[in-house]
């Protein structure tokens, strides 16, 4: 019988347990395979911390949030050990063989796709599933966790409406999504935000302020601004470019590869506080901020996420049965599709400028801040 190793890596996401159950139940019950779990992502695989996963262990987990395996953001080739980052890929490869695995199933987001590809290049059989509330993985229509987070963020905007309205305030609500604006855009539209700011559309603070003032002139003395974590004003874009250039130049001097992409000056919450203050000054309206943070990743998965996780999970077991490895199980319409990891890893699915959601937002009169 085939022997499966499974792990969950990166930030947790609603639907992970449903996906583990989907892979496991199909593999064990339908195909007669066996499965073990590794705890806390690639760290547990490196430390060989395993968890028994028999049919009974897969019961009663469908609706649970988080991941029963635990997770971490540790990477095989840059594992934090004793204050240093060590390449532990050899140990991981060794543990794969010591556990007599036929395949390693990795449930994770963008980082996990890259790590899985590295293990594929070392000759391991790997299959991944696309998990993230950000919905920013390439080559799949959607990722599990997104729908649940969308529901939570939309509910939050709904609730903020009544208090913003009562107090005649601006409420700036920060929504997760550091590279792509799917969540902020989707929740912003579904929740009826007045302004939506996403990483794909650099915004001008003055233009946001004008949208709010225009609402006031129409008698609407409150506004909801939905901002994605990674959204930057034009000025912040310029600062980022400057900082990245400087830091990479000094890294280059030290002979290191230029990898700096962010700047501490542009921390999410601080940017949001700054924007709220600027809007207060520019509009004369009192403002407040709400950072939804990890609330968006917690709790039970929505029905749509359970369904998606389950169908991707069972499709994963089918691929293992067919011996098709080195792929991500993608959702394509009603079907699932095996996509080569090379086509997924290192790519980010951002919101296209002409995406129907953006068009729809603009036609509704929602300001995108540009």
Q: Which residues are catalytic?
A: 134
Site for ligand F6P in 278-317 (CB under 6 A): 297
Kindly tell me which of 102 and 155 has the beta carbon lying closer to ligand F6P.
155
Shortest Å distance, C-beta 206 to ligand F6P: 27
Site string for ligand F6P, 166-185 (x = CB under 6 A): ----------xxx-------
Q: Is the Cβ of residue 283 or residue 290 nearer to ligand F6P in the bound state?
A: 290
Torsion angles phi and psi, residue 110, rounded to 5: -60, -45
Q: Which of 121, 48, 43, 120 is nearest to 78 (CA)?
A: 43
**Segments in 191-327 forming alpha helices (H):** 205-217, 234-253, 268-283, 303-322
Q: HSE (CB half, 13 Å, CA atoms) of 148? A: 31
Q: Does 275 bind ligand F6P (CB under 6 A)?
A: no
Site for ligand F6P in 78-137 (CB under 6 A): 109, 132-134
Task: Report whether 227 contacts 193 (CB < 8 A).
Answer: no
- For position 39 contacting ligand F6P by CB under 6 A, the verdict is no
**In angstroms, what is the minimal distance from the CB of 223 to ligand F6P?**
24
Closer to ligand F6P by Cβ: residue 133 or 170: 133
Neighbours of 168 (CB within 10 A): 13
Distance CA 180, CA 75 (A): 22
Give the count of residues interacting with ligand F6P (CB under 6 A). 10
Sign of CA dihedral 229, 232, 237, 239: negative
Was 102 annotated as part of a binding site? no
Q: How far is the CB of 298 from ligand F6P (least distance, A)?
A: 11
Give the containing element (helix H, strand E) for 58: none
The contact pattern for ligand F6P, residues 127-156, with x = CB under 6 A and - = no contact, is: -----xxx----------------------
Task: Tell the residue number behind the tokens 């709400």, with chain if given.
Answer: 290
d(CA 95, CA 102): 12
Q: Which is nearer to ligand F6P, 229 or 236 (CB)?
A: 229
Q: Is 217 helix (H, G, I), strand (E, B) or coil?
A: helix
Shortest Å, Cβ 176 to ligand F6P: 3
N-term to C-term CA, the chain? 58
The set of residues, in sequence order, having a beta carbon less than 8 Å from that of 317 and lying 6+ positions away, is 22, 23, 26, 27, 30, 31, 33
Among residues 229, 326, 338, 345, the one that binds ligand F6P under rule CB under 6 A: 229
Could you tell me which residues are annotated as the binding site for ATP? Answer: 11, 73-74
Task: Kindly list the residues in this chain that would bind ligand F6P in the complex (CB under 6 A).
Answer: 11, 109, 132-134, 176-178, 229, 297
Could you tell me which residues are annotated as the binding site? Answer: 11, 73-74, 132-134, 169, 176-178, 229, 288, 294-297
Could you tell me which residues are annotated as the binding site for substrate? Answer: 132-134, 169, 176-178, 229, 288, 294-297
């Amino acid at each position: 019988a085939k022997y499966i190793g499974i792990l969950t890596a990166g930030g947790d996401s609603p639907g992970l347990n449903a996906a583990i159950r989907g892979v496991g139940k199909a593999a064990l019950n339908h195909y007669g395979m066996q499965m073990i779990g590794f705890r806390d992502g690639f760290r547990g695989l490196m430390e060989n911390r395993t968890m028994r996963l028999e049919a009974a262990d897969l019961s009663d987990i469908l609706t649970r949030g988080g991941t029963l395996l635990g997770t971490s953001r540790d990477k095989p080739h840059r594992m934090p050990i004793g204050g240093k980052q060590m390449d532990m890929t050899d140990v991981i490869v060794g543990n794969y063989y010591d556990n007599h695995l036929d395949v390693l199933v990795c449930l994770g987001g963008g980082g996990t796709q890259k790590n899985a590809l590295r293990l594929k290049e070392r000759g391991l059989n790997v299959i991944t599933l696309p998990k993230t509330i950000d919905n920013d993985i390439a080559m799949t229509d959607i990722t599990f966790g997104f729908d649940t987070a969308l529901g939570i963020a939309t509910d939050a905007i709904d609730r903020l409406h009544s208090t913003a309205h009562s107090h005649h305030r601006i409420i700036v609500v920060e929504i997760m999504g550091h590279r792509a604006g799917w969540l902020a855009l989707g929740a912003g539209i579904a929740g009826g935000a007045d302004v939506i700011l996403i990483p794909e559309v650099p915004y001008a603070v003055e233009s946001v302020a004008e949208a709010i003032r225009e609402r006031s002139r129409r008698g609407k003395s409150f506004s909801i601004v939905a901002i994605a974590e990674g959204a930057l004003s034009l000025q912040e874009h310029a600062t980022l470019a400057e900082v990245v250039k400087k830091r990479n130049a000094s890294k280059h001097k030290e002979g290191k590869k230029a990898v700096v992409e962010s700047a501490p000056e542009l921390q999410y919450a601080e940017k949001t506080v700054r924007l709220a203050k600027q809007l207060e000054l520019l509009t004369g309206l009192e403002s407040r901020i709400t950072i939804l943070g990890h609330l968006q990743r917690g709790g039970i998965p929505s029905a749509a996420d359970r369904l998606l996780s389950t169908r991707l999970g069972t499709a994963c077991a089918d691929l293992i049965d067919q011996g098709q490895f080195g792929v991500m199980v993608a959702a394509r319409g009603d079907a699932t599709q095996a996509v080569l990891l090379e086509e997924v890893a290192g790519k980010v699915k951002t919101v296209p400028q002409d995406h129907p959601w953006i068009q729809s937002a603009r036609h509704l009169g929602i300001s995108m801040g540009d």
